[in-house]
């Protein structure tokens, strides 16, 4: 069977989203048929998207929205891949200070425009950062939440590997 590829695009300011993305990548990498590429949003673009069979988009919740650099990634990539990735699977990770739902909705709207297929509900980890000092502090994602991310990566990879997605 041909190797498949999973692109994980992330942005982080305080480390929480990166921990989630790395755990997801680690879970996906357990499948020997999957090439996992972890790319920071500022370094990812249309060519990365076109080269991947599936996607995980990981962002912090900033001001009840996806981060600006994640939005920038989508802005720079959107038209270059439009109608060229239809039907490919995706999932999203949100490191939220409150509920993360709006950031997840924004990613879903963009993915709908790309005609991607959601393979899971958004995985939202709430770190309950509401005060300025908490928002700006380095985040530590708990073991249970990292395990959820790893399991999500493993499930995504398994689906890609056997052709379910």
Q: What is the pLDDT of residue 135?
A: 79
- CATH T-level assignment (fold) for domain 4-162: Rossmann fold (3.40.50)
Q: Residue 138 burial by CB count (10 A; 0-12/13-18/19+): exposed, middle or buried?
A: exposed
Q: Residue 128 burial by CB count (10 A; 0-12/13-18/19+): exposed, middle or buried?
A: exposed
Under the banding of pLDDT at 50, 70 and 90, the label for residue 1 is low
Q: What is the pLDDT of residue 133?
A: 79
Which region among 19-23, 93-97, 135-139 has the lowest average model confidence (pLDDT)? Answer: 135-139
Q: Residue 6: which of 109, 156, 164 has the closest Cα?
A: 156
- Write down the domain spans for the chain: 4-162
Q: What is the pLDDT of residue 91?
A: 98
């Amino acid at each position: 069977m041909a190797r498949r590829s999973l692109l994980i695009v992330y942005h982080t300011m305080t480390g929480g989203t990166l921990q989630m993305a790395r755990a997801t990548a680690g879970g996906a990498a357990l499948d020997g048929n999957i090439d996992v590429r972890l790319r920071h949003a500022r370094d990812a673009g249309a060519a990365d998207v076109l080269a991947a069979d599936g996607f995980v988009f990981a962002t912090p919740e900033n001001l009840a929205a996806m981060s600006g650099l994640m939005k920038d990634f989508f802005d720079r990539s959107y038209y270059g891949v439009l109608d060229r990735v239809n039907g490919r699977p995706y999932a999203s990770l949100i490191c939220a200070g409150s509920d993360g739902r709006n950031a997840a909705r924004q990613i879903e709207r963009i993915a709908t425009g790309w005609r991607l297929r959601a393979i899971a509900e958004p995985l939202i980890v709430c770190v309950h950062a509401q005060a300025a000092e908490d928002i700006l502090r380095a985040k530590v994602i708990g073991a249970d939440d990292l395990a959820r991310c790893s399991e999500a990566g493993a499930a995504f990879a398994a689906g890609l590997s056997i052709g379910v997605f």
